[in-house]
Amino acid sequence: MPVSGRLDVGGALDGAVELETLDPEPWELPGARIVQASLEIVEAAAEAAIPPALHPSIPPYATFTVVEFPESPVGPFHLAQVRIVARAGIRPRGFLVGAVVDSEPAATALAAGWGFGTSVGEVGLTVRHDRWIGRVARHGQTVLEVVCRDPQVINGADVDLLDSLHLVRYEGDGLIVQVDPEYTYREAHRGGAELGVFVPDAWGGAVRPTSPNVAVAVVADTDLPKPRFVMDPNRPAVEGTRRLEPA
């Protein structure tokens, strides 16, 4: 059988968000600008960073994403995320290992609604004709610069932004919450993936990029819907996934 994650879930829960509800008010997020690069990563580190519920993909890779939300219920904000792509059963999902947001109200709401474990920092997105650049700084140090180089127009129907998995504490136990936004693309580009800067320790220390895959730069109407699936972090996802009934 495939390799499974080896994350010590109990230890990881110490720093995880405590979620009080699985029924948040959904958010509409129109006009989001997203730059995302995917790069292959060191296998052993990836296995150590994802819970036993998941399998690392073959080969393991991570996504490095910066999003500008011009409108949201808490006002405009930027969000940066680093996710290890894994398999929940056979389904590709991005397991969140680190996130930075540039707005205290957004950080609070994202944590309470969907279990985003974020820290607050400086996050920005610059769009140029030759590249889209997402930058993240904390305490005055740049910890991520993600680039989509030489973006070429593609059809948004070809873009596949994966759903996310967030490890949280809920009712005294560990739980993985799946966050599965919809995307309606206004623009889509594909380009070369570059990390101008990446400081692993600022993102949990597990992600060690090796070989670039590809980058996308898109403008999309998106959302944060009510969670539909949760899973037990310590059981294989095919056994431990539960559909949430609409309230």
Partner 1 sequence: MKFGIFYELSVPRPWDAEAEHTVYMNALEQVRLADRVGFDQVWAVEHHFLEEYSHCSAPEVFLTACAAQTERIRIGHGIVICVPEFNHPVRIAERAAALDIVSGGRLEFGTGRSATWTELGGFKANPDDTKKSWDEFVHAIPKMWTQERFSHDGHFFSMPSRAVLPKPYQRPHPPMWVAMSSPGTEFDAADRGMGALGVNFASFAETEQRVKEYRRRIQNCDPVGEIVTDQLASVNFLYCHPDDARGVDIGMRMIRTFQYMAGQLDMAKEVFPTRSYPTAGLLAQTRRQAAGPGDERGAPEGIAVGNPDQIIGQLKKWEACGVDRINLLLNAAENIPQDQVLDSLQLFADEVMPAFAGAREPVGMAGGGS
- Residues near partner 1 (CB under 8 A) are 1-3, 38, 40, 55, 57-59, 61, 85, 87, 89-92, 154-155, 158-160, 162, 188, 190, 211, 213-214, 216, 238
Two tokens, residue 181? 């936004």
* Minimum distance, C-beta of residue 19 to partner 1, in the bound complex (Å): 28
Residue type, 196: G
Pairing of strands 183-198, 209-224: antiparallel
At 198, is the secondary structure helix, strand, or coil? strand
Nearer residue to partner 1 within complex by CB, 163 or 223: 163
Of the candidates 5, 6, 7, 37, the one whose C-alpha atom is nearest the C-alpha of residue 210 is 37
* Minimum distance, C-beta of residue 38 to partner 1, in the bound complex (Å): 6
Nearer residue to partner 1 within complex by CB, 57 or 142: 57
Distance of alpha carbon 216 from alpha carbon 210, whole angstroms:
18
Nearer residue to partner 1 within complex by CB, 21 or 211: 211
Nearer residue to partner 1 within complex by CB, 141 or 210: 210
Task: Find the radius of gyration of the CA atoms of the chain.
Answer: 17
* Minimum distance, C-beta of residue 5 to partner 1, in the bound complex (Å): 13
Asked if residue 45 lies in contact with residue 206, where contact means CB atoms within 8 angstroms, the answer is: yes
* Minimum distance, C-beta of residue 160 to partner 1, in the bound complex (Å): 6
